[in-house]
Amino acid sequence: MEFIEFQKQQIAFSDNKHKGTPVVFIHGYCEDQRMWDEFTEPFDPYFRIIKIDLPGFGRSEIKGAVSLEDMADCVIAVLEHLKVKKYILIGHSMGGYVSLEIAKKEHQKLLGFGLFHSHPFEDKQEVKKKRLKAVKFIDEVGHEIYVKQLIPRLFKTDFQKSNHYLVGKLVYQASRGPKEGLKNGQVAMANRVDNTKILKEMDCPVQLIIGKLDETLAYEEMVKQVELPKKGSIHILEKVGHMGMFSSKRELQKIVETFLEFCEV
């Protein structure tokens, strides 16, 4: 684990320092870079794997309000610190929203772009209201209870029952982070803009991973993006919810491996 200072905040990241093509993984809400640890193991011998804790998550600090654009600038600062010139970018859920903001600024550096259980659309009004209610709930009952209720819902019921340790570990890790990070994340997502144009105009190969049983992001909304990329690799996973990198790890690893090899320089 390494750190840089960004906007007077300590930002945590990891870098396997491999000489291969850099692949940057951005975690989602209530997650941190550790979510990718097992998933990226097959890629470690061949690619330079970089993982980052966004402000307010994992071991990264948060001081004041941080927008998704600020989070994107944080990731860019880490990559500049590491002297990364070209890279493949993959984001999960909120990490996908951050990745789209990165693409606005660094599209010329992208060798490939992946959205895992994410999309480019702005929140609908009812979703924005739910996010602000979540902020109030965290203030009233605490983020530990909020996380304990939220994370299990990201998985199908049968997966929860047979993977108590994994789900419990994710709950524990999220509950150890700062309350302000969770509150800020909801506000940042509620305030984000529509980035359909970014995905549509992207010149690099784009991979979309969609879970048909995703209860966090409506499948009907998710499929609206499949025709947007110029060079799209679209994968709709029939029996997967919001957390394919855990519930269908091997299948998704093979899909991503093919994509990385296609994008590799």
Q: Across 74-129, where does the E strand assignment appear?
A: 87-92, 110-116
Q: Which residues contact 93 (CB under 8 A, 6 or more apart)?
A: 28, 29, 31, 116, 117, 118, 216, 217, 242
Check pLDDT > 70 for residue 265: no
Structure tokens at 198: 């970014």
d(CA 235, CA 115) in angstroms, rounded, equals: 11
Measured over the CA atoms of residue 168, residue 212, residue 137 and residue 120, the dihedral's sign is positive
Closest CA to 69 of 103, 92, 115, 114: 103
d(CA 109, CA 53) in angstroms, rounded, equals: 21
Q: Quick one: pLDDT at residue 218?
A: 87
Measured over the CA atoms of residue 244, residue 246, residue 247 and residue 249, the dihedral's sign is positive
Distance of CA 36 to the CA centre of its chain: 10
Cβ 205 vs Cβ 233: under 8 Å = yes
Q: Tell me what the mean pLDDT of segment 23-30 comes to.
A: 97
Rg (CA), the chain: 17
Per-residue pLDDT tens digits for 209-251? 999 999 889 898 899 999 999 999 999 998 899 999 999 999 9
Amino acid at the residue 127: V
Q: Quick one: pLDDT at residue 161?
A: 87
Q: Which residue has the tokens 């909020």?
A: 146
Q: Which CATH number fits domain 2-124+193-263: 3.40.190.10, 3.40.50.1820, 3.40.50.2300, 1.10.8.60?
A: 3.40.50.1820
Closest CA to 53 of 29, 81, 84: 29
Check pLDDT > 80 for residue 169: yes
Percent of the chain with pLDDT over 70: 100
Where are the domains positioned within the chain? 2-124+193-263
Q: Quick one: pLDDT at residue 89?
A: 98
d(CA 109, CA 204) in angstroms, rounded, equals: 9
Q: Tell me what the mean pLDDT of segment 57-66 comes to.
A: 95
Closest CA to 16 of 40, 44, 43: 44
Q: Which helix (H) or strand (E) holds 221?
A: helix 219-222
Q: Which residue has the tokens 């299990």?
A: 152
Per-residue pLDDT tens digits for 113-152? 999 999 999 999 999 999 999 999 999 999 999 999 999 9
Query: Three-class SS of residue 114?
Result: strand
Closest CA to 116 of 258, 5, 236, 254: 236
pTM given for the model: 0.96
Confidence of residue 156 (pLDDT cuts 50, 70, 90): confident
Cβ 63 vs Cβ 8: under 8 Å = yes
d(CA 28, CA 68) in angstroms, rounded, equals: 12
